[in-house]
Structure 1
């Protein structure tokens, strides 16, 4: 069984692995200042954000990456999946985005589609390696 990299339990894929890195709650002066120069609705800024932050997850193994990509592909193929809900932060939650645009992205599905496309390239070797293994042995 594939284990969570931080908890001693089974790994549960979640799209927040890709976008949770943009949460700046209690880090507004550091991470927030770093991220607020980017506009997530601009395709060039978005690509830079994804490459620099969403895919720079050194704590995930090649196996975790494949499981996450499969999960993301499943959600992208579901036309009714509400991608905006991933970016909704309740006022009572301990979380915040770096800029107002994050709360109402023009195309939240497109953001995750870009994650998928860029990860295909950035994680190419890891995904191939994991795909050659028997998942039952994990």
Structure 2
């Protein structure tokens, strides 16, 4: 068995865009963009609120998905060559945009994801313990 995606009946790929893509305001500038533009993604207190409200508010992911996603994030945080800024880069051909200019060149994109990791350990604690206690071969 293998863990399946929450939307498609395919193998779940723990992409870090699950944490970052929630800030994509393309075609939602007037609603989501207006909510997000008041935050400075480089400011610690704003990051905490953004991460808690958006990055970790992934109700469509099960506790198993959350564990696998967080393990993937831990692996990337342990890889000094991983390009965290690449998560925030947009291509002209993509239907993607960020709420403010600061999102395109964060002062510390790795630090932002480190904050995601630390807060996820706290916010998802019970779910992570539950998933870690299961036999993954049954997923």
Residue correspondence of structure 1 range 1-138 to structure 2 within 5 A: 1-138=2-139
Gaps of at least 5 residues in structure 2 are none
Shift of 1:91: 1.4
Taking only aligned residues, the RMSD between alpha carbons, in angstroms, comes to 0.4
Using the alignment, how far apart are the partners of 2:83 and 2:3 within structure 1? 27
Q: Which runs of 4+ in 1 moved over 4 A?
A: none
Q: TM-score, normalised by structure 1?
A: 0.99
Q: TM-score, normalised by structure 2?
A: 0.98
Gaps of at least 5 residues in structure 1 are none
Using the alignment, how far apart are the partners of 2:61 and 2:93 within structure 1? 29
